[in-house]
């Protein structure tokens, strides 16, 4: 759903129904705003919480619920848990740095987020 929504956002900016480029798709994924109304219309109300993404924050929300398979269907817990960004942030950064080094990739400059 997130990939499809990112594509929808990109096509809304760059041309509905047109083939979009990788750069345009990235823009779409970096500019999602999933509201309660939007999530409900997509059939994801109650599955995930509202979230928005940006160039500086690809993760958006860090909330989750426990779901358990009971043999016939999913039992969805009522309690939402929020990930601790103080713990997750350094882990994400370390993994991204290792990936970039392994693939010999150049990081986008922070100024790219302002364009």
Q: What is the mean pLDDT of the chain?
A: 91
pTM of the model as a whole: 0.77
Element (H, E) at 102: helix 85-103
Query: Residue 76 and residue 44: Cα distance in Å, rounded?
Result: 13
User: Which two structure tokens, joined as six digits, stand for 24?
Assistant: 């345009």
Q: Percent of the chain beyond pLDDT 70? A: 98
Which two tokens mark 28?
A: 């779409």
pLDDT at 33: 95
Indicate whether 89 pLDDT > 70.
Answer: yes
Q: What pLDDT, on the 0 to 100 scale, is given for residue 114?
A: 65
Measured N-to-C along each axis, helices 22-29 and 2-14 cross at an angle, to the nearest 10 degrees, of 110
Query: What average pLDDT score do residues 35-40 get?
Result: 95
Smallest CA-to-CA distance from 56 within 4, 11, 103, 107 is with 107
Q: Are 45 and 61 in contact (CB under 8 A)?
A: no
Per-residue pLDDT, averaged over 70-82, amounts to 93
- The rounded distance, in Å, linking the Cα atoms of 111 and 58 is 16
Name the DSSP letter for residue 86.
H
């Amino acid at each position: 759903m997130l990939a499809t929504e990112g594509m929808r956002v990109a096509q809304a900016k760059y041309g509905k129904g047109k083939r979009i480029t990788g750069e345009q798709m990235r823009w779409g994924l970096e500019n999602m705003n999933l509201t309660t109304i939007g999530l409900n219309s997509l059939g994801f109300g109650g599955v995930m919480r509202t979230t928005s993404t940006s160039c500086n924050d690809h993760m958006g929300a860090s909330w989750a619920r426990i779901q358990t398979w009971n043999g016939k269907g999913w039992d969805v817990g009522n309690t939402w848990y929020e990930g601790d960004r103080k713990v997750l942030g350094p882990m994400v950064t370390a993994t991204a740095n290792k990936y970039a080094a392994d693939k010999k990739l150049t990081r986008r400059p922070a100024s790219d987020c302002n364009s």
